[in-house]
Amino acid sequence: LDPLSQDGLDLLESAGSIEYEVRTGLSGQALRDTLAEFDGAICRSGVKITAEALEGNHRLRAIARAGVGTDNIDREAATRHGIVVMNTPGGNTISTAEHAITLMLAMSRNVHPAYQSLLEGRWDRKKYMGSQLAGKTLGIVGLGRIGLSVAKRARAFEMQVLGYDPFFPASRAKEQGIEICQSTAEMLPLVDYLTVHTPLNDETRNMIGLEQIEQIKKGARLINCARGGIYNEEALVAGLKSGQLAGVALDVYPNEPCTESPLFGMPGVLCTPHLGASTEEAQTNVAVEAAELLIDFFTTGAIR
């Protein structure tokens, strides 16, 4: 239902017992009709599989999301219809972790505005004094695959790493060079950088708002390569204007595609259009893994 790497399509082709079609850009009745024709579906983040799209569906048995987040799929509606929803959490781990580090570095060294100044014919070395990562404290909320990969790379940059994840065993943290905090609130006054790697749900939506930004260490920089909405946009704007925040780097937004935001153009802000998993390697990995999920499901009944 979304563009998929050829390697994933080749795997479906080689399965032998599976017929597939590529139908992208669907919504409304066209999507509903298509879903009613097939036993399984593969999507990325583009198509929105809502309760309405699944209404009256008596055939679809499984949906594989080529990526981590499944917030573009109404899982409760799928469950009511007996449809299994699976994702591919490992395929884009490294690419997303690298992008979080990329945003941290580029934001800290004013890479975009400095390059823009050259394009405009200016040589402003003094204007773009930066900050190094070494010796700084990074707070990571969410210590799943991506969070741990970010931690590993941050340690290589000689950063101190704090982590919060209620599901992560403290015994493993020491091995990873992570100091565990008991809450996000405990972490905020201590961090120079904060990055989040959690799903978007009722517990994480607006997790960082005005109250939290007042608590955070003055001059902190925030990064979000997870899901839009974890940081409250209005609070970020207020934090930047007050000087409480030195920078904000976002790859994700509450509503995507996003081409307008009060943050765009503000000093200290660096934004990209959801590029975390946009590498050839990640797209190949998630496509192959999604194809494997459906092949296994339809040939052996396995669910992962």
| Catalytic residue positions, numbered | 227, 256, 274
Q: 268 near 107, Cβ under 8 Å?
A: yes
- How does DSSP assign 89-155, residue by residue? TTTTHHHHHHHHHHHHHHHHTTHHHHHHHHHTT---TGGG----STT-EEEEE--SHHHHHHHHHHH
Q: 108 near 132, Cβ under 8 Å?
A: yes
Walk across the sheet containing 84-87 and list its strands: 40-43, 62-65, 84-87
Tokens of 82: 């007996």
CA neighbor of 224 nearest in space, from 56, 35, 69, 8? 69
Under 8 Å CB-to-CB from 195, ≥6 apart: which residues?
100, 104, 138, 139, 140, 141, 147, 150, 222, 223, 224, 225
CA neighbor of 226 nearest in space, from 258, 261, 270, 196? 196
Q: 227 near 277, Cβ under 8 Å?
A: no
What are the respective helix, strand and coil percentages of the chain, to the nearest 5? 40, 15, 45
CA neighbor of 283 nearest in space, from 42, 100, 95? 95
Q: 227 near 69, Cβ under 8 Å?
A: yes
Under 8 Å CB-to-CB from 233, ≥6 apart: which residues?
254, 261, 262, 263
Under 8 Å CB-to-CB from 278, ≥6 apart: which residues?
95
